[in-house]
Amino acid sequence: MIHPFTQEHEELRNVIRQFLQKEIVPHVERWEAEQKVPREILRKMGSLGYFGLNIAEEYGGSGDNPLAEAVLHEEIGRINASGFANTVGVHVGIAMRPVYKFGTEEQKRRYVVPGVQGEKIGALAITEPGAGSDVASIRTRAVRDGDHYILSGNKIFITNGVYADFYVVAARTRPEGGHKGLSLFIVDRDTPGFQIQRKLEKVGLHSSDTAELFFDDCRIPASQRLGEENQGFYLIMQNFQWERLMIALQTLGTAQAVLDMAVEYAKTRQQFGGPLTQFQVIRHRLVDMAVEVAKARHLTYHALDLFARGIDCVTETSMAKLVATEAAYLVADMAVQIHGGYGYMQEYPVQRAWRDMRVTRIYAGTNEIMKEIIAKRMELLP
Ligand SMILES: Cc1cc2nc3c(=O)[nH]c(=O)nc-3n(C[C@H](O)[C@H](O)[C@H](O)COP(=O)(O)OP(=O)(O)OC[C@H]3O[C@@H](n4cnc5c(N)ncnc54)[C@H](O)[C@@H]3O)c2cc1C
């Protein structure tokens, strides 16, 4: 199997693992109940350098190193705290990332430097009530007015949407032109006309806050535009590669954690005079789960290796997202079954994985869209 990590990455993995066990795991249930990840812990992670693993030193990071950030995402997945994983992943991997990659020097100083320190937290706002998979049909408008733009419209399902400090927002700068008429903007939380319309209640990922946003003639300086006008769609698509890899890594970590829980439970739970593993059907189910995790690991590490070496990996990234998220949900579902009635009780963490993994097949591009991307790459479209 391709193992893209060096000895240094494995040492980092150990440090992160210890940090997560000490500082995160004991608080997960409380954060889920409070429906919030406390800001202090995000600041602490920032101060320890965990948000700058793939950011140049001049912006407070430890250097451009996607494999180091990959270790962070996989290990966060491994503790089965996907609400927390979502909060961190969206900030580091999908909101701060485009500012770092496509932003001006001033934008990087204003958002990336405090973002790396955990002083400012970001969100990425693309989805709208009428535009989900079909990103090109976004209707939020940004109309140029001198050296400003006026934003109007709304966004839905935005992770970190309730508590973020800055929002990277996709808006239409050309009425016609579909995907060729979109641009990205950075909107500060306190901008007049910008409203966090409502906090959304979800089936899982309870500690991750999700919001509907509203832009009511929200006036922002033209210097807040990210990248060239009408190039937003291409920037979003570029950023999707890392986002999808990140989701694959997180869900791979969770699938492995859930498999371990199920093995442990099946070995210790006694029924009919022996452990559950005395039954061939249970043993085979555990083997099926191990095969799913192995498939996810192979594809994810392969895509990550290509990505880290700068090789085109749209197909592999889409496959990794598809396979890892399907595997994680299947493994979580089987783990609940192996736990019997206990698996359905709140006090057993397998139920949380089962609720949390369901959405990974939907966000960051649905798995049907992953298949469409792969089909296009296979030149199957008429
Ligand atoms: C918890 C959560 C967090 C999220 N966080 C964010 C965020 O931070 N920022 C953000 O911008 N968005 C976010 N999203 C939105 C997410 O990316 C969208 O929900 C997703 O892209 C799907 O869009 P939709 O929900 O409108 O579904 P639709 O696009 O309406 O799709 C409905 C169904 O039709 C299928 N479908 C659609 N088009 C096709 C096609 N061409 N071929 C085959 N099948 C198709 C889909 O696969 C799906 O099964 C989040 C969503 C959730 C649930």
Asked if residue 106 lies in contact with residue 223, where contact means CB atoms within 8 angstroms, the answer is: yes
Note the pLDDT tens digit of each residue in 279-324.
Answer: 999 999 999 999 999 999 999 999 999 999 999 999 999 999 999 9
Q: Whose CA is nearest to atom 43 of ligand 1?
A: 368
Long-range pairs for 363-366 at CB < 8 Å and ≥24 separation? Answer: 363/157, 363/247, 364/240, 364/243, 364/244, 364/247, 364/321, 365/133, 365/240, 365/244, 365/318, 365/321, 366/133
Mean pLDDT across 151-156: 98
Quick one: tokens of 19? 């940090």
Ligand 1 contacts CB of residue 127 (under 6 A): yes
The domain defined by 7-120 folds into Butyryl-Coa Dehydrogenase, subunit A; domain 1 (1.10.540)
Task: State mean pLDDT over 158-171.
Answer: 98
| β-strand partners of 149 | 144, 220
Give the pLDDT score at 307. 97
Q: Which CATH superfamily is domain 123-230 in?
A: Butyryl-CoA Dehydrogenase, subunit A, domain 2 (2.40.110.10)
In this prediction, residue 154 carries a pLDDT of: 97
| Residue having the nearest C-alpha atom to atom 19 of ligand 1 | 363
Per-residue pLDDT at 373:
97
Would 7-120 and 123-230 be classified into the same CATH topology? no
pLDDT digits (tens, 9 = 90+) for 197-251: 999 999 999 999 999 999 999 999 999 999 999 999 999 999 999 999 999 999 9
Query: Whole-number mean pLDDT of the chain?
Result: 97
Per-residue pLDDT tens for 31-64? 999 999 999 999 999 999 999 999 999 999 999 9
Residue 178 has pLDDT above 90, yes or no: no
- In the chain, where are the structural domains located? 7-120, 123-230, 233-377
Place of tokens 């039954």: 279
Q: Does the C-beta of 126 come closer than 6 Å to ligand 1?
A: yes
Determine the atom of ligand 1 nearest the C-alpha atom of 364: 17
| Position 176 pLDDT exceeds 90 | no
What DSSP line would sit under 15-81, residue for residue?
Answer: HHHHHIIIIIGGGHHHHHHHTS--HHHHHHHHHTTTT-TTB-GGGTSSBS-HHHHHHHHHHHHHTT-
Residue nearest to atom 25 of ligand 1 (CA): 132
Compute CA distances 243 → 186, 298, 307, 341, whole Å. Answer: 18, 18, 12, 35
Q: Is 143 helix (H, G, I), strand (E, B) or coil?
A: strand
Residue of 136 and 177 predicted with greater confidence: 136
* Six token digits for residue 129: 């009530």
Q: Residue 253: its pLDDT value, please?
A: 98
CA nearest neighbour of 266 among 251, 281, 254: 281
Does ligand 1 come within 6 angstroms of the Cβ of 372?
yes
Opening angle at CA 268, ends 263 and 270, nearest 5: 125
Q: Mean pLDDT across the stretch 350-367? A: 98
CA of residue 237 to ligand 1 center, whole Å:
15
Does residue 132 have its Cβ closer than 6 Å to ligand 1? yes
- Between CA 125 and CA 128, with CA 126 as vertex, the angle to 5 degrees is 105
Q: Is 368 in the pocket of ligand 1 (CB under 6 A)?
A: yes
- pTM to 2 decimals? 0.97
Task: Please tell me if the CB atom of residue 27 comes closer than 6 angstroms to any atom of ligand 1.
Answer: no
> How far is C-alpha 208 from the geometric centre of its chain's CA atoms?
11
What DSSP line would sit under 106-121, residue for residue? HHIIIIIHHHHTTSS-
Best residue among 362, 370, 376 to mutate for probing ligand 1's pocket (most ligand atoms within 8 Å of CB) is 362
Give distance in angstroms: CA of 321 to centre of ligand 1.
14
Q: Which of 69, 128, 243, 326 is catalytic?
A: 243
Distance 297 CA to ligand 1 centre (A): 25
CA distance 66 to 53: 7
Q: Which CATH code of 3.40.50.300, 3.40.50.920, 3.30.70.2520, 1.20.140.10 fits the domain covering 233-377?
A: 1.20.140.10
What mean pLDDT do residues 137-143 have? Answer: 96
Is there a catalytic annotation at residue 243?
Answer: yes
Query: For residue 346, how many C-alpha atoms fall within 13 Å in the half-sphere facing its CB?
Result: 6
For residues 370 and 382, what is the distance between their CA atoms, to the nearest angstrom?
A: 18
What interhelical angle do 314-338 and 367-377 show, nearest 10?
Answer: 150
Checking if the pLDDT of 177 tops 90, the result is no
Q: Is 16 exposed, middle or buried (0-12, 13-18, 19+ CB in 10 A)?
A: buried
Non-local (6+) Cβ contacts of 31 within 8 A are 37, 38, 81, 83, 84, 207
More confident residue, 2 or 43: 43
- Any atom of ligand 1 within 6 Å of the Cβ of 366: yes
Distance 106 CA to ligand 1 centre (A): 33
Nearest-angstrom CA–CA distance, 299 and 248: 9
Gap from CA of 148 to ligand 1 centroid (Å): 31
Yes or no: say if 193 and 151 are a contact pair by the CB < 8 Å rule: yes
With a pLDDT cut of 90, the percent of the chain lying above it is 98
Mutate which of 157, 358, 371 for ligand 1 pocket (most atoms within 8 A of beta carbon): 157
Q: Is 125 in the pocket of ligand 1 (CB under 6 A)?
A: yes
Residue nearest to atom 12 of ligand 1 (CA): 127
* pLDDT higher than 90, residue 1: no
159 Cβ below 6 A of ligand 1 = yes
Residues in contact with 179: Cβ distance below 8 Å, sequence separation at least 6, in sequence order: 135, 136, 233
Average pLDDT value for residue range 114-132: 98
pLDDT (0 to 100) of residue 134:
95
Round to whole Å and give the CA distance between 334 and 45.
33
- Give the per-residue pLDDT at 187: 98
